[in-house]
């Protein structure tokens, strides 16, 4: 909250200083002017605000009490507020007895609500929500709902976040379905949404199981059908109800009808199936009972939706008390002449000369004259750094001939690399990278590649970012796999990774296509001549090879982009398997022996197709 010292508008000056177009609100008995950030004026009586809304009241009072107010007697004091004219105007229509105004878009309404929430205007907040609900409703389409959900998360508006999260349940929630919408919100908001979605599903599955066992709460009893489930309701209905648990968006009257029509059509000639003749009242009762279960589950899941709080950089979350830090005895560094202090207040005694030798940043920093009152410990100057003690401990152990303090996770290796990059310690950075390569330092294991990608790209560690991105291709990319790591992602970083994956998939298809070309100098031209192709044998590939390549290609085309891209590691096995179906052909066996590197080259080309597309560093991407 920023307020500027108030100024006054003199009555004489008002025609020019306060043009009518800029005066949006003029209440009888006005004794102050509220001014919006875009300079609109609102003349209001002070008491009606001060008495009802303590936070705004305090801002007004502070402005009035400020020394500049001494000569304001004849004029109205101006209280500057950071909101726009439109928002402030709408807000005041809920404070004074006038026709309430709701902003023209749901986005602006979210902002209005956030302002009312910020000033803790509880009654106004309720009033705005009620008026909005009468005049409008929150969007039902996926993309607009995601936008409003993102805003509600941003402004901390729980009812709206919940309402739109419920709407989003009407749509499947997978990375494929969210594909081009991933950058609408932060990874943290997306993670909360996904967690809520999962909770709803878990609760639904259990509530619906109970519902099925109760014969749909007795609404479907005694119905004859050739295919009854163990809970004595028709299997088609049982399966439909069960499916809602896994895919809440199937909770839709039309979906129930589709399931019924399909069953009735299949059993058209069976007199023992009465499903075509279920009275419409029974169907309605069933639907209402189902709806009450589903809504009950939604309500139970409400507490699962959390609002995102400002996420701390995990780097500073490393708690020295619980970490496995074993500080080497700083006193063993003889003749230390400088103390560097970690963010968690651990002092490390070091030599200026060592730091200035490896880091131009420290060289410049330490050459600055120190203020006379700067802190010293045992007569040594103290330099405060933003890194934690665990990280500094590792860093110093690399600078000095000590046993290296090995970071206990790859994430920490990345933070160490980032610190050495920040202080321009090129040689230190190279030595850390060498230790990773040699396996002395941890490497990202399995799906850790996803969080490694986010950290590395956020810190501008290009080689680590590229190798992590490549490593993510070995794993499916789903919300389940990303898990909590999703919180680290900015939405656009997730989308970048999706784009990268898609480009790699396309490259792999192109690569396989290039192997299906039979003309020289294509790599497959050596295979021309398989007698099985008869007179066309010089113009086409042997059938077994052509089939292998086109099938691999088509599989790649068909697979979801979130599936792993591991064709390079599978191709040799499949190549040998295909060839084994064709061992009778002397020609192909000869080529196989003579061109023994053919498959190795294919593997390499496929691996390169995954490497070709460099990922953009986050800095570029964020523009
Ligand atoms: Zn039936
Ligand atoms: Zn052959």
47 domain residue, yes or no: yes
115 domain residue, yes or no: yes
575 CA from centroid of ligand 2 (Å): 14
600 CA from centroid of ligand 2 (Å): 20
Choose one of 250, 273, 304: the last residue of a domain.
Answer: 304
Residues 359 and 288 occupy one common structural domain: no
Q: How far apart are CA 592 and CA 596, in angstroms?
A: 6
Question: Is pLDDT of 319 > 70?
Answer: no
288 CA from centroid of ligand 1 (Å): 21
543 CA from centroid of ligand 2 (Å): 8
Angle formed at CA 307 by CA 303 and CA 309, multiple of 5 degrees: 135
pLDDT at 200: 92
228 CA from centroid of ligand 1 (Å): 8
Rounded to the nearest integer, the mean pLDDT of the chain is 85
Cβ proximity of 525 and 581 under 8 Å? no
609 CA from centroid of ligand 1 (Å): 53
Residues 101 and 66 occupy one common structural domain: yes
Q: How far apart are CA 348 and CA 340, in angstroms?
A: 5
253 CA from centroid of ligand 1 (Å): 18
For the record, the structure tokens of 383 come out as 């330099």
Residue with tokens 């004859």: 224
Residues 319 and 293 occupy one common structural domain: no
183 domain residue, yes or no: no
236 CA from centroid of ligand 1 (Å): 8
546 CA from centroid of ligand 2 (Å): 11
Q: Which ligand is nearest to the CA of 582?
A: 2
Q: How far apart are CA 90 and CA 128, in angstroms?
A: 9
239 CA from centroid of ligand 1 (Å): 13
Q: If you compute the radius of gyration of the chain from its CA atoms, what whole number of angstroms results?
A: 34
Residues 560 and 601 occupy one common structural domain: yes
Residues 280 and 384 occupy one common structural domain: no
532 CA from centroid of ligand 2 (Å): 6
Looking at residue 25, the DSSP 8-state letter turns out to be: E
- Per-residue confidence band for 69, with pLDDT thresholds at 50, 70 and 90: low
pLDDT at 618: 45
ipTM of the complex: 0.71
571 CA from centroid of ligand 2 (Å): 19
537 CA from centroid of ligand 2 (Å): 9
Q: How far apart are CA 516 and CA 524, in angstroms?
A: 7
- Per-residue confidence band for 172, with pLDDT thresholds at 50, 70 and 90: confident
Q: How far is CA 271 from each of CA 123, 227, 238, rounded to the nearest angstrom? A: 63, 12, 21
80 domain residue, yes or no: yes
Q: Which ligand is nearest to the CA of 592?
A: 2
Q: What are phi and psi of 78, to 5 degrees?
A: -110, 130
264 domain residue, yes or no: yes
- In this structure, what CATH number is given to the domain that contains residue 96? 3.30.710.10
228 by DSSP, 3-state: which? strand
80 by DSSP, 3-state: which? strand
166 domain residue, yes or no: no
- Per-residue confidence band for 560, with pLDDT thresholds at 50, 70 and 90: confident
- Per-residue confidence band for 480, with pLDDT thresholds at 50, 70 and 90: confident
Residues 295 and 382 occupy one common structural domain: no
Residue with tokens 């991933």: 182
Question: pLDDT tens, 360-375?
Answer: 999 998 888 877 778 8
Q: Which ligand is nearest to the CA of 578?
A: 2
Q: Which ligand is nearest to the CA of 266?
A: 1
Residues 436 and 368 occupy one common structural domain: yes
CA–chain centroid gap for 60, Å, is: 40
152 domain residue, yes or no: no
Residues 421 and 347 occupy one common structural domain: yes
Choose one of 137, 158, 184: the last residue of a domain.
Answer: 137
Question: Is pLDDT of 586 > 60?
Answer: yes
Residues 258 and 237 occupy one common structural domain: yes
237 CA from centroid of ligand 1 (Å): 9
- Cβ neighbour number for residue 18 with a 10 Å cutoff: 21
Question: Is pLDDT of 103 > 80?
Answer: yes
Percent of the chain that is helix, strand, coil (3-state, to 5)? 60, 5, 35
Can you tell me the mean pLDDT for 479-507? 84
Q: How far apart are CA 318 and CA 325, in angstroms?
A: 10
Lowest mean pLDDT among 402-406, 446-450, 569-573: 402-406
521 CA from centroid of ligand 2 (Å): 20
| Domain with 367 in it | 314-443
528 by DSSP, 3-state: which? coil
DSSP for 167-218?
A: HHTTS--SHHHHGGGGGGS-HHHHHHHHHHHHHHHHHHHHHHHHHHHTTTTT
605 CA from centroid of ligand 2 (Å): 24
603 CA from centroid of ligand 2 (Å): 21
Q: How far apart are CA 334 and CA 288, in angstroms?
A: 80
296 CA from centroid of ligand 1 (Å): 28
201 domain residue, yes or no: yes
Residues 280 and 331 occupy one common structural domain: no
Residues 508 and 602 occupy one common structural domain: yes
Number of domains the chain contains: 4
Q: Which ligand is nearest to the CA of 529?
A: 2
Query: Is the link from the previous residue into 201 a cis peptide, with omega within 30 of 0?
Result: no
Q: Which ligand is nearest to the CA of 274?
A: 1
Residues 63 and 123 occupy one common structural domain: yes
212 CA from centroid of ligand 1 (Å): 16
pLDDT at 73: 40
Q: How far is CA 130 from each of CA 133, 246, 353, rounded to the nearest angstrom? A: 5, 34, 68
Choose one of 304, 327, 354: the last residue of a domain.
Answer: 304
Q: How far apart are CA 435 and CA 405, in angstroms?
A: 12
Helix (H) or strand (E) holding 78: strand 76-80
224 CA from centroid of ligand 1 (Å): 7
């Amino acid at each position: 909250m920023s307020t500027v010292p108030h100024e006054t508008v003199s009555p004489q000056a008002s025609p020019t200083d306060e043009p009518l177009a800029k005066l949006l609100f003029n209440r009888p008995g006005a004794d102050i002017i509220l001014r919006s950030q875009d300079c609109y004026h609102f003349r209001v009586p002070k008491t009606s605000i001060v008495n009802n809304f303590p936070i705004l009241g305090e801002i007004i009072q502070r402005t009035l009490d400020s020394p500049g107010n001494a000569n304001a007697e004849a004029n109205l004091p101006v209280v500057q507020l950071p909101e726009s004219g439109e928002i402030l105007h709408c807000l005041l229509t809920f404070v004074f007895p006038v026709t309430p105004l709701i902003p023209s878009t749901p986005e602006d309404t979210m902002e209005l609500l956030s302002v009312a929430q910020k000033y803790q205007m509880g009654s106004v907040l309720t009033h705005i929500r009620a008026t909005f609900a009468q005049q409008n409703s929150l969007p039902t389409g996926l993309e607009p709902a995601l936008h409003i959900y993102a805003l509600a998360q941003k402004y901390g508006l729980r009812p709206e976040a919940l309402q739109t999260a419920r709407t989003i349940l009407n749509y499947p929630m997978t990375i494929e379905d969210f594909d081009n919408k991933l950058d609408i919100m932060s990874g943290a908001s997306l993670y909360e949404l996904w967690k809520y979605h999962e909770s709803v599903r878990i609760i639904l599955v259990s509530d619906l199981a109970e519902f099925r066992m109760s014969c749909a709460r007795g609404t479907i009893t005694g119905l004859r059908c050739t295919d009854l489930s163990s809970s004595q309701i028709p299997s088609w209905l049982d399966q439909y109800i069960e499916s809602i648990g896994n895919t809440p968006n199937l909770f839709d009257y039309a979906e129930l009808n589709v399931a019924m029509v399909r069953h009735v059509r299949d059993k058209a000639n069976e007199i023992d199936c009465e499903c075509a003749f279920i009275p419409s009242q029974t169907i309605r009762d069933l639907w209402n009972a189902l709806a009450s279960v589903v809504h009950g589950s939604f309500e139970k899941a409400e507490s699962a939706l959390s609002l995102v709080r400002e996420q701390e950089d995990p780097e500073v979350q490393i708690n020295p008390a619980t970490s496995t830090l074993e500080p080497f005895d700083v006193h063993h560094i003889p003749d230390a002449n400088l103390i560097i202090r970690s963010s968690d207040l651990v002092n490390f005694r070091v030599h200026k000369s060592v730091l200035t030798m490896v880091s131009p940043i420290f060289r410049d920093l330490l050459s600055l004259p120190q203020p006379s009152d700067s802190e010293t410990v045992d007569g040594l100057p103290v330099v405060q750094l933003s890194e934690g003690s665990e990280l500094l401990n590792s860093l110093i152990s690399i600078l000095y001939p000590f046993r290296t303090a090995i970071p206990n996770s790859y994430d920490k290796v990345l933070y160490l690399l980032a610190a050495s990059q920040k202080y321009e310690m090129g040689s230190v950075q190279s030595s850390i990278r060498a230790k990773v390569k040699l396996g002395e330092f941890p490497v990202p294991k399995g799906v850790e590649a996803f969080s490694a990608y986010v950290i590395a790209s956020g810190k501008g560690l290009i080689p680590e970012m590229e190798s992590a991105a490549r490593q993510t291709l070995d794993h499916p990319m789903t919300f389940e796999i990303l898990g909590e790591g999703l919180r680290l992602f900015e939405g656009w970083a997730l989308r970048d990774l999706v784009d990268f994956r898609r480009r790699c998939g396309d490259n792999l298809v192109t690569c396989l296509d290039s192997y299906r070309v039979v003309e020289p100098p294509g790599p497959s031209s050596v295979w021309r001549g398989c007698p099985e192709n008869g007179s066309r044998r010089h113009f086409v590939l042997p059938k077994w090879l052509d089939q292998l390549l086109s099938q691999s290609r088509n599989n790649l085309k068909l697979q979801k982009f979130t599936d792993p891209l591991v064709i390079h590691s599978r191709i040799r096995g499949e190549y040998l398997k295909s060839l084994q179906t064709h061992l009778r052909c002397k020609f192909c066996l000869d080529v196989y022996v003579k061109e023994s590197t053919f498959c190795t080259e294919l593997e390499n080309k496929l691996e390169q197709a995954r490497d070709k597309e460099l990922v953009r560093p986050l800095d570029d991407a964020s523009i």
